[in-house]
């Protein structure tokens, strides 16, 4: 089994979809996600830049020790 096939198998088992369509994104707003999304839209930063992108990158760098 190729790495690609292993990945697809993992995704199918995770989403309990053995042979059906797997959605690209199943949005779940269980915390402040909606507020963050609305703020990004209100400030016109719905792209690859903006406050939340920089914040996410800094948090990832800190978590991985890249800082």
- Percentage of the chain modeled with pLDDT above 90: 16
Domain boundaries, the chain: 3-64
pLDDT in tens, 1-36: 788 889 888 888 887 767 777 767 777 788 898 898
Phi and psi based region of residue 26 (left: phi greater than 0; alpha: psi -120 to 50; beta: remaining): beta
Amino acid 60: pLDDT? 94
Secondary structure letter of residue 15 according to DSSP? T
Q: Which of 13-17, 22-26, 40-44, 59-63 has the highest mean pLDDT?
A: 59-63
Tell me: pLDDT of 46 over 90. Answer: no
Q: Which residue shows structure tokens 């096939």?
A: 5
pLDDT of 30 reads 86
């Amino acid at each position: 089994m190729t790495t690609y096939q292993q990945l697809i198998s993992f995704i199918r088992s995770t989403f309990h979809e053995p042979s059906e369509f797997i959605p690209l994104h199943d949005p779940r707003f269980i915390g402040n996600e909606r507020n963050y999304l609305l703020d990004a839209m209100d400030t016109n930063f719905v792209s690859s830049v903006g406050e939340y992108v920089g914040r996410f990158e800094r948090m990832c760098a800190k978590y991985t020790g890249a800082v």
